Amino acid sequence: MSALRGRTALVTGGSRGIGRAISQRLGRDGARVAVHYGRDETAAKETVSAIEAAGGRAFAVRAELGVPGGAEALWAAFDEEADGLDILVNNAGINKAVDGTLKRVGEVTEEDFDRLFAVNTKAPFFLVQRGLTRLRDGGRIVNVSTGLTHGAAKPELIAYAMSKGAIDVFTSTLAKDLGGRGITVNAVAPGAVDTDMNAGWLRGEGNSGAREALGAISPLGRVADPTDIGDIVAFLASDDSRWVTGQWIDATGGALL
């Protein structure tokens, strides 16, 4: 529990799913973790409590992303608790339309499209822009992308995959821009992960066999657990990854092979 001792991390969408796994792992490695949430205060407090129960340090910060002023609101809340940042994990994201459904190209509305890009693409961009004065030299930025940006995406996830494709470009270009400060920037691209966001089609009624079918796509024969992704992010946040930057890390368990 010393790899990240003395460092401060911010994980957006850090209260649930992959974000919770990332927050807890960074906390176990010694970082003081800012657990960002948008609406679920209970989940954020549970994550903070879990980190503290394991001997770590954490605090919750609330801000709605994808709305005007969202980045400023998040940093204002962060500044009340911390002085400077070492690790920024842009994890918060959505994959559904405004009405909570998945849509093909002929069904996506302008409102759906704008919302997906506001949360998944615009918010990370301006969080980094506004956070550069807080991010210390030698810091780490990790963006959560998706395996869907390499190869044709599922038709009903076209707008989501496009929003994450922009994150891939953001990652490689930002790595060039910030390398002079010793800051590394990488993207982690999960495949199917067993989270609350995916519970409906992984474990929901009428979807029997979906989990097994998805697991069979990976040579490892299973669907990812959030901790599988959290551990990869922890590596990229550590000194062990100091010579890795601008990379898209396939975290699909070999599903793209």
The tens digit of pLDDT for each residue in 1-14 reads: 689 999 999 999 99
**Residue 146 corresponds to which tokens in the numbers above?**
């998706």
Residue whose entry in the numeric block shows the structure tokens 């066999």: 209
b (16+ CB within 10 A) / e for 199-233: eeebeeeeeeebbeebbebbeeeebbebbbbbebb
Q: Cα–Cα distance between 101 and 117 in angstroms, integer?
A: 16
- Please tell me the pTM assigned to this model: 0.95
Among 103-107, 148-152, 216-220, the range with the most confident prediction by mean pLDDT is 103-107
Q: What pLDDT, on the 0 to 100 scale, is given for residue 64?
A: 98
Q: Show the domains of the chain with their CATH numbers.
A: 8-251 (3.40.50.720)
Q: What angle do CA 239, 51, 230 make, to 5 degrees?
A: 50
Q: What pLDDT, on the 0 to 100 scale, is given for residue 236?
A: 98
The tens digit of pLDDT for each residue in 28-40 reads: 999 999 999 999 9
The tens digit of pLDDT for each residue in 128-137 reads: 999 999 999 9
Strands (DSSP E) found in 18-126: 32-37, 57-62, 85-90
Distance separating the N- and C-terminal Cα atoms of the chain: 34
145 close to 189: Cβ distance less than 8 angstroms: yes
Q: What pLDDT, on the 0 to 100 scale, is given for residue 137?
A: 98
Q: What pLDDT, on the 0 to 100 scale, is given for residue 156?
A: 96
